[in-house]
A and B are shown apart, each in its own frame.
Chain A
Amino acid sequence: MSKRGFLDISFSWVFAILIGAFILFLAIYGVTKFTKTASMSEDLELSKEISFLLNPLETGFEQGIMIPLKLPTESRIKVECDDFSEQGFQEIIIQQEIYNKWTDTNTGTKEYNKYLFTDGFVQGKKFYLFSQPFEFPFKISNLIYLTSSDKEYCFTGTPNSIEDELSKFNQSNIFLENCESPSRISICFGQGNSCDINVNTIDQSIKKFEEETIYYSGNALLYAGIFSDSFSYECQLNRLMKRATSLTKIYQEKATIHSRNNCDSYLSSDLGKLEAFLGTYSNSKDLKSIEGTINQLKGSNQHAECKLW
Chain B
Amino acid sequence: MVNKKAQVKIQQTAFMLMAITLLFVLVGLFFLSTRFSGLKKTTESLAQKNAILLASKLADSPEFSCGESYGTEKSNCVDLDKVLALSKNLVDYEDFWGVSNIEIRLMVSEDEKLCSQENYPDCNVFRLISDEIKGADASNFVSVCRKAKLAEKSYNKCEVGRLIISYE
B130 to chain A, nearest CB (A): 17
Mask, B10-28, CB within 8 Å of A = 1, is 1001100100110010001
Residues of B within 8 A of A34 (CB): 32, 35
Q: Are B67 and A257 in contact (CB under 8 A)?
A: no
Shortest Cβ distance from B67 into A: residue: A309
Whether A139 contacts B62 in the complex (CB less than 8 A), given A12-B13, A246-B92, comes out as yes
A interface residue numbers (CB < 8 A to B): 10-12, 15-16, 19-20, 23, 26-27, 30, 34, 38, 41, 45, 48, 52, 55-56, 58-61, 86-87, 112-113, 138-141, 242-243, 245-247, 249-254, 257-258, 261-263, 306-309
State whether A253 and B89 are in contact (beta carbons under 8 Å apart), knowing that A15-B10, A113-B96, A258-B81 are contacts in the complex: yes
Residues of chain A within 8 A of B153, CB atoms compared: 262
B88 touches A253 (CB 8 A): yes
Smallest CB-CB A-B distances: 9 pairs: A253-B85, A263-B154, A246-B92, A59-B57, A309-B67, A250-B85, A19-B17, A261-B147, A59-B60
Q: Nearest Cβ distance between residue A281 and chain B, in whole angstroms?
A: 15
Is A254 within 8 A of B81, CB to CB?
yes
Interface segment, one of B42-50, B134-142, B158-166: B42-50
Specify which chain A residues have a CB less than 8 angstroms from the CB of B30 in the assembled complex: none
Whether the Cβ atoms of B69 and A308 lie closer than 8 Å is yes
B68 touching A307, Cβ below 8 Å? yes
Give the distance in Å from the alpha carbon of A257 to the alpha carbon of B145 in the complex.
13
Contact B57 A140 (CB under 8 A): no
- Evaluate contact between A261 and B149: CB separation under 8 angstroms: yes
B84 contacts partner chain A, Cβ-Cβ < 8 Å? yes
Pick the residue among A27, A59, A112, A250 that contacts B89 (CB under 8 A).
Answer: A250
